[in-house]
Amino acid sequence: MSGTVAPRVDAGPVEWFAPDDPVLSWDGVADLERTADGWLPRRIPAERLATTPSEGFASCAAMPAGVRFGVRTDAAELTLRLDVTGGSAPLDVRVDGALVRRAAVSGACEVVVPLTEGPAAGGPGPHDVEVWLPHLGRTQVARVGFRGHRALLAAERPGPRWVAYGSSLTHSMFAAGPSETWAALTAARRGWRLHNLGFAGEAHLDPVVARTIRGLPADLISVELGINVYLRESFSPRSWGPAVCGFVETVRDGHPDLPLAVITPLASPTRERVPNKVGLTLEQVRDHTVAAVRVLEGLGDRNLHIVDGLSVVPVDEAGDHFADGLHPTADGEHVLAARIGPALEGLLRPPAAP
């Protein structure tokens, strides 16, 4: 095997677990698919993918953006056996919320992470260990091992559940690591449970996504819409508004009263007033999206909200925060988290009194 390997801790034999073992508390997944080389976490149920006959969408759905598993343990060492293809993102390991390892992974590899380093060093009792899989590429998990532990429990995840749908801006192409996308940062700072449904280039309001969100447990939903529609010309001025309404209404079949935020396109200076092949400018996509939300509000949806993309990143700031006029830089991910997070936080209702 190839890959990044750290010196092993002398703490007895490794106890191995299959990825579907209940002790590994997964979050951000729709299912774990058994393959010849391990388990493939998917963010969309595998049996429903054929309803969107797009190779790009199927590829994105197999990228574990926001997918992680967690345990509470006093183990001295963690070992991961993985097979990673088609991506360039690292793997992150966090202990008690702090990043202790960011490992480059490729191909069939074994990653060994001493847990006696970092914030857990010398501390008594178990610690919360969370492994974030690379958010780009395809990662199959073969086995997970722990060494030198007396306590090994599934992580407790009591926080509100947030489902975040969107384009590459939600998938986060240039984030420093999978736990530093704007969505991951937003969730971590507030103790939310993130299910990331960002699909680079593939946010076209596919019914399978709306149906998936409809069936997922959630306390808050956000849908970042419009940039892929402009770039790929997948909707016209006639069809975009009805598509937005239909997508939201399908989600509402399962979540009639939850706060649902519609995030309109962030600034993209070279596209704001340039018509695409179906005659839509990015400004018009933004306007049609807002108009669709107002229609649904008029029909009685009282917990639907707009987050104006231009308030997140104004046109005159795009050069400061975007790598290519469209996608946030690694630092830009932190800017998005600082600006979108408070807007979403304000939508969550306080918990009901016991």
Neighbours of 40 (CB within 10 A): 20
> What is the model's pLDDT at position 116?
72
Q: What is the CATH T-level fold of the domain 161-345, as seen in this structure?
A: Rossmann fold (3.40.50)
The DSSP secondary-structure symbol of 231 reads: H
The 10s digit of each residue's pLDDT in 312-336 is: 999 999 999 999 999 999 999 999 9
Smallest Cα–Cα separation from 241: which of 194, 275, 291?
291
Gap between the Cα atoms of 53 and 287, Å rounded? 29
Residue written as token pair 């947030």: 162
The DSSP secondary-structure symbol of 207 reads: H
- Based on the number of CB atoms within 10 Å of its own CB, is 12 exposed (0-12), middle (13-18) or buried (19 or more)? exposed
Query: pTM for this structure?
Result: 0.93
DSSP string covering 122-170, please?
T--S-EEEEEEPPSSSEEEEEEEEEES-S-EEEPP--SPEEEEEESHHH
Residue written as token pair 């060093």: 121
- Cβ neighbors of 7 (< 8 A, separation 6 or more) are 112, 114
* Sign of the dihedral defined by the CA atoms of residues 30, 36, 37, 38, in that order: positive
The 10s digit of each residue's pLDDT in 128-183 is: 999 999 999 999 999 999 999 999 999 999 999 999 999 999 999 999 999 999 99
103 CA to centre of own chain: 19
Helix-, strand-, coil-residue percentages of the chain, each rounded to 5 = 30, 25, 45
* Domain residue ranges of the chain, discontinuous segments joined by +: 14-154, 161-345
17: left (phi > 0), else alpha (psi -120 to 50), else beta? beta
**First-to-last CA distance in the chain?**
53
Q: What is the CATH T-level fold of the domain 14-154, as seen in this structure?
A: Jelly Rolls (2.60.120)
Contact 280, 234 (CB under 8 A): no
Gap between the Cα atoms of 66 and 68, Å rounded? 6
Q: DSSP alpha helices (H): ranges in the chain?
A: 55-61, 168-171, 182-190, 207-215, 227-232, 240-254, 282-298, 309-312, 318-321, 330-345
Contact 211, 250 (CB under 8 A): yes
Gap between the Cα atoms of 341 and 81, Å rounded? 34
Q: What angle do CA 192, 110, 155 make, to 5 degrees?
A: 25
pLDDT tens sequence for the chain (354 residues): 444 444 455 568 999 999 999 999 999 999 999 998 899 999 999 989 999 999 999 999 999 999 999 999 999 999 999 999 988 899 999 999 999 999 999 999 999 999 975 444 446 679 999 999 999 999 999 999 999 999 999 999 999 999 999 999 999 999 999 999 999 999 999 999 999 999 999 999 999 999 999 999 999 999 999 999 999 999 999 999 999 999 999 999 999 999 999 999 999 999 999 999 999 999 999 999 999 999 999 999 999 999 999 999 999 999 999 999 999 999 999 999 999 999 999 998 654 444
